[in-house]
Structure 1
Amino acid sequence: MKIITFSLHTQQPLLATSFQGDPNSDVSYSFIPGSMIRGAIIGRYMKQHQLSELDLSNDTVKHLFFDAKSTRYLNAYLLSQDGNRTLPVPRSWFKDKDAEVTDDSTIWVYDFSLDRGDDLENSKFVGEYFCTEEGSCVRFYKEKRRINIHNQRDRKQGRSTQIKRDPQTKQLKGEGEIFRYEAIDAGQTFQAVILCKEADAAFLKKLLHKSQDLWLGGSQSAGYGHTKISEINCHDAWDEVSIPIEDRIDRESFTITLLSDMVLRDEWGQYAVIPPSAQHQVPVPLIEELKKILGVELQSKRSFTSSTLVGGFNRKWGLPLPQVPAFTAGSVFVFENISLTSEQIQQLETQGIGERRVEGFGRVVVNWLEENHFQVYPKPTKSTSQPTLKQETSRTLAAHMAERLLHKKLEQLLQKQIGRLAIQGNISNSQLSRLQLVARQALATGNCDLVLSLLDNLPANAKGQFEKAKIGTGKDSLKQKLDEWLRTPMSWISNPQDLTVKIADIERSITDEFAINNKLVEKYTLRLIMAVAKKAMKEEI
């Protein structure tokens, strides 16, 4: 079996919707599900073969996308600073109740699956993190998230409409509901893995190489889901944990740790989340599955589990998949020690347990760690020393990167200003439209004099409207504020020192030669005027 690994860099927030939050919110998983990656590759396969839908009777389609014995698409987890794929924290890891996981201190963690001990009086689960072994220490990682607020809009009018009750039908009409999206933030790197047959590896790599750009998740038309593929590699041997199987055979107990969610059915065919128990000898789906794979009897000692609901979305149907209960990733099951060979452990870890294994469910590791307590270290901080770039191509690339980051900072500042500024008073939409039109004409060259000329040559009626209207919370009229912005474009930027970006020894700011030659501040000032005028026109409608 071949293993294909590749990195996914989030260029935009990514919404891999889970079943968390209230009905008017979408909360993303902390990882990129394997089902989402499989769906994106199916899309590339269909585009390459010019198909409108998949032929499920085709043997190639079956073993590439729907047969867990042939191909499996694993979840993409965060990449550590050392370039390793992190894994979900086991639910048997506990800490002192008052100990906090921070970026600048270490904490002691105790593995209760090995020894409960007496050192920890007030224990608490460490929390939902990803972890990795880096040398002789364990480090925790947490994905960054972004929360955006959206409101439902009328498709024809392009804005939300007031919700009213129809007097005849008594039904509510109109748009305007508020939605909250909590997505994986941009600027993060995840590692995805595909397990496949050797004959399929070259074809799947070709599909991945087709384009660097890959769109994943929901709300793609609203600025979500853009990722870039890189570092596509093929391996003959690969393990999700760094400990060789031979070193995990001789242990006091037989321990199963879930590296992804696991879906099981009981003997009656119902989805069930029943943890094994030493006290209650009831049929447990997990033990029955392990018996089929390993061919041995198992006696449970203890379990550290949690459950969740999993679903998905079927693009063929255009409908969500049924919600089913599952054991969450990180759940730990401890059994009495049994005699296993390295081949049996390899088969169990490669095959996985339960249903939907083609989508990355049911990944397990046997006898993972053997330290009953250890220290967790914060993420290593990056060095603050800036290297000197000697080659001209490197300096040019660093300059482009710094310029893009400077633009990003200006965009963020612009959005904040637009959010807090509002025009108050009676000013007609025709005057605002004329202001917006002239500012757009001046935007190409950054020539603020065009807008100043408009304001200086206004007819008496229009001039009166600009002078009577107010903007923001101050006492300045709209005309005074526009004059101030246009004659002194830096005046609306409160902390210009924060708008400095440095890549290696290349620095960019809004006062340097690059910004002056490109009239950067003037152009963003004109954009601010356009946005404020547009906002006032929309609020007037």
Structure 2
Amino acid sequence: MKIITFSLQTQQPLLATSFQGDPNSDVSYSYIPGSMIRGAVIGRYIRHNNLSELDLENDEVKRLFFDANNTLYLNGYLQSNEGKRTLPVLRSWFKEKDAELSDESPMPVYDFGIHREHELESPKFIGEGFWTKGLRYVNFYKEKRRINIHNRRDRKQGRSTQIKRDSTTNQFKGEGEIFRYEAIDSGQTFQAVILSSSDDAQLLIDLLDKSQDIWLGGSQTAGYGHTKISNINSCESWDEVNISVDDRTHRDILTITLLSDLILRDKCGQYAIIPPSSKDKVPAPLTKEIEKILDAKLNPQISYASSTLVGGFNRKWGLPLPQVPALAAGSIFVFDSVSITSEQIKEIEAKGIGERRTEGFGRVAVNWLKNADFEVRLPKKISSDKPELKIDTSQTLAKQMADRLLHQKVEQTLQRYLGRTAIKGDISNSQLSRLQLVVRQALPTGDCELVLSLLNNLTGNANSQFEKAKIGDISLNRKLSEWLRNSNSWSWVSNKQDLTVTVANVERSINDEFAIQNKLAEKSTLRLIMALAKKAIKEDKK
């Protein structure tokens, strides 16, 4: 088996239409499907051999494009900064609901598919994306998208026309509807792989190498799909998950992870997306498929899975392919440990399972990961020179943009803190309203002393209520006084290093001279106090 790897860099937005979104929009997949890559290679093969169409009875055509035992076109996933092919995020990866991933600070993540020893208060799936393993962290990648709005046009007139009702036929005429494309943005690099026999590998390399320019996806005449091929390489051995199979034979559990969508049928011939379960009286189709390959009885433990709809477009017919349900990439299925050899792992990972394997479906990894917890971070951005703004108007505009973006970041941080913090204890709404009123008076000038004066001169009953009410384990009076006296310390912010903004050569942070002059810390603290009081009043009325 020969492995051909190559990079695809989008020069224009790329529309690989999925079944997401409403009827008036086309939403692209987050990757370049293997079927799309195969279609582009078929187009080059036809032109190279001066054919009008493929001869489906030709042995070479069968081997190159339709034989899953000979040639496989794998999905093109995002390429990492190190030039590696990323893989889909696992569905068993969870985080605390309020945990946020930022450029500077990593985020703790727990793999429930390996071991659920950590009881999270509010576990939440970390979200779809791609990843690679770094030296200390898992690097999380997310594709960039572009949304364009289009008007449907009349083919004869070359423009959109007004929609009118025909009085004789009572039918609407005109081509003026608005629709939306959400495509993969330009300027991104994906890495694709073709697995083929040694005899056919050179022909495929020659087809890829004929021209750097290739067009993929839909709406190619409307400014979509231009892509460049680069870094074409071939090798004899390759591991999709970059972990030797010899290190994966002896594990306490057996895990099957989907590296691409999986299409399976049950014994009645119906498409099946039922994940294996310990409660199954009849083994799920996936369980049967793995048992047949491993020649062993499997006992399911748990599954973390999702389903999706897959289809496609047949250019020969000019029609879409039937929609079929499939298990989504990133799904993971856990079974009791069984004896497994390195040869069995190589076989199942090389061939894949299920239907449409020539198009990249059915890629799996056996006993892939073994760490139950780790940290995820965003990849380091490739540095570029910041442009100097020579015109005063541009400099002023950049300052305004940076200031607004900084305020937006502070507001988002405040809202997150407010979501997990509340005033607890017996305090009357009248006292909270009084606090709100004084804070509102102090807010325009950022005068924290005005609110401190209120707290220091409370009467006996009011002071008792402010002492009994608490934020966390600290009395309300003490907590508010700490915030107001030390507002510039931003003690309620856990990620101070993230509250910075750069627009061109203009930088803004929460502790710079501009923020101090405008009393950003004082005003943000006052807004937090007012929001907490309002939240407490609202919850008391429920």
TM-score by length of 2: 0.71
* Identity of matched residues, %: 67
The yes-or-no answer on 1:2 pairing with 2:5 is: no
* Structure-2 separation of matches of 1:114 and 1:35: 32
Paired AA for residue 301 in structure 1: Q
Paired AA for residue 105 in structure 2: S
* Structure-2 separation of matches of 1:233 and 1:278: 44
Deviations 1:46-65 (A, max 9, x none): 01111111111111100100
Question: Where do 1:165-204 residues align within 5 Å?
Answer: 165-204=165-204
Partner of 1:353: 353
* Structure-1 separation of matches of 2:313 and 2:54: 16
Per-residue deviation at 1:288?
1.3
* Structure-1 separation of matches of 2:25 and 2:362: 28
* Structure-1 separation of matches of 2:257 and 2:121: 25
Secondary structure of the residue aligned to 1:365 is: strand
Partner of 2:322: 322
Deviations 1:113-156 (A, max 9, x none): 11112341210001001000022321100000000000111122
Paired AA for residue 9 in structure 2: H
* Structure-2 separation of matches of 1:384 and 1:32: 27
* Structure-1 separation of matches of 2:122 and 2:149: 39
Partner of 1:160: 160
Partner of 1:278: 278
Paired AA for residue 171 in structure 1: Q
Secondary structure of the residue aligned to 2:117 is: coil
* Structure-1 separation of matches of 2:86 and 2:504: 34
* Structure-1 separation of matches of 2:283 and 2:168: 58
Partner of 2:269: 269
Per-residue deviation at 1:382?
3.0
Per-residue deviation at 1:43?
0.4
* Structure-2 separation of matches of 1:197 and 1:266: 31
Partner of 2:456: none
* Structure-1 separation of matches of 2:247 and 2:136: 16
Secondary structure of the residue aligned to 2:246 is: helix
Partner of 1:297: 297
* Structure-2 separation of matches of 1:198 and 1:140: 34
Partner of 1:467: none
Partner of 2:133: 133
Would you say the 8 A contact 2:110–2:118 is kept in 1?
A: no
Paired AA for residue 353 in structure 2: I
* Structure-1 separation of matches of 2:242 and 2:206: 28
* Structure-2 separation of matches of 1:335 and 1:16: 34
Cα distance change on mapping 1:499 and 1:103 into 2, 3 Å:
closer
Task: Please identify, of 26-35 and 51-60, the stretch whose mean Cα deviation from structure 2 is larger.
Answer: 51-60
Deviations 1:170-201 (A, max 9, x none): 00011110010000000000000000000011
Secondary structure of the residue aligned to 2:44 is: helix
Task: Please identify, of 375-384 and 163-172, the stretch whose mean Cα deviation from structure 2 is larger.
Answer: 375-384
* Structure-1 separation of matches of 2:125 and 2:345: 28
* Structure-1 separation of matches of 2:63 and 2:12: 32
* Structure-2 separation of matches of 1:384 and 1:203: 39
Per-residue deviation at 1:383?
4.0
Partner of 2:337: 337
Would you say the 8 A contact 2:6–2:233 is kept in 1?
A: yes
* Structure-1 separation of matches of 2:104 and 2:328: 29
Cα distance change on mapping 1:135 and 1:118 into 2, 3 Å:
closer
Deviations 1:246-299 (A, max 9, x none): 111111100000000000000011111110010122231111111221111111
Paired AA for residue 36 in structure 1: M
Deviations 1:402-443 (A, max 9, x none): 9xxxxxxxxxxxxxxxxxxxxxxxxxxxxxxxxxxxxxxxxx
Deviations 1:24-62 (A, max 9, x none): 100000000000000000000001111111111111100
Partner of 1:78: 78
Partner of 2:148: 148
Q: Which runs of 5+ in 2 are unaligned?
A: 388-502, 506-542
Partner of 1:370: 370
Secondary structure of the residue aligned to 2:206 is: helix
Partner of 1:65: 65
Per-residue deviation at 1:385?
7.0
Question: Where do 1:343-422 residues align within 5 Å?
Answer: 343-383=343-383
Paired AA for residue 209 in structure 1: D
Partner of 1:434: none
Deviations 1:351-393 (A, max 9, x none): 101000000000001111111000112211334579xxxxxxx
Cα distance change on mapping 1:228 and 1:95 into 2, 3 Å:
same
Partner of 1:257: 257
Paired AA for residue 178 in structure 2: I
Partner of 1:43: 43
Per-residue deviation at 1:242?
1.6
The yes-or-no answer on 1:20 pairing with 2:12 is: no
Paired AA for residue 297 in structure 1: K
* Structure-1 separation of matches of 2:384 and 2:69: 48
Please tell me the root mean square deviation across aligned C-alpha atoms, in Å: 1.6
Task: Please identify, of 81-90 and 116-125, the stretch whose mean Cα deviation from structure 2 is larger.
Answer: 116-125
Cα distance change on mapping 1:170 and 1:238 into 2, 3 Å:
same
Deviations 1:281-322 (A, max 9, x none): 223111111122111111100000000000001111111000
Task: Please identify, of 28-37 and 240-249, the stretch whose mean Cα deviation from structure 2 is larger.
Answer: 240-249
Per-residue deviation at 1:105?
2.2
* Structure-2 separation of matches of 1:120 and 1:11: 43
* Structure-2 separation of matches of 1:232 and 1:4: 7
Partner of 2:29: 29
Paired AA for residue 348 in structure 2: L
Question: Where do 1:85-96 residues align within 5 Å?
Answer: 85-96=85-96
* Structure-1 separation of matches of 2:114 and 2:239: 22
Paired AA for residue 216 in structure 1: L
Would you say the 8 A contact 2:162–2:175 is kept in 1?
A: yes
Cα distance change on mapping 1:317 and 1:294 into 2, 3 Å:
same
Partner of 1:472: none
* Structure-1 separation of matches of 2:250 and 2:385: 46
* Structure-1 separation of matches of 2:40 and 2:118: 49
Cα distance change on mapping 1:373 and 1:499 into 2, 3 Å:
closer
Paired AA for residue 220 in structure 1: Q
Task: Please identify, of 205-214 and 103-112, the stretch whose mean Cα deviation from structure 2 is larger.
Answer: 103-112
* Structure-2 separation of matches of 1:101 and 1:262: 29
* Structure-2 separation of matches of 1:140 and 1:330: 14
Partner of 2:116: 116
Would you say the 8 A contact 2:18–2:310 is kept in 1?
A: yes
Deviations 1:67-121 (A, max 9, x none): 0000000000000011110000000000001112233321100000111123412
Paired AA for residue 69 in structure 1: N
Aligned residues: 391
Partner of 2:287: 287
Deviations 1:193-252 (A, max 9, x none): 000000011100000011000100000000000000000000111111121111111111
Moved over 2 A (4+): 101-105, 381-386
Paired AA for residue 329 in structure 1: A
* Structure-2 separation of matches of 1:342 and 1:384: 45
* Structure-2 separation of matches of 1:248 and 1:174: 61
* Structure-2 separation of matches of 1:207 and 1:250: 42
Paired AA for residue 312 in structure 2: G
Paired AA for residue 115 in structure 1: H
Question: Where do 1:511-526 residues align within 5 Å?
Answer: none
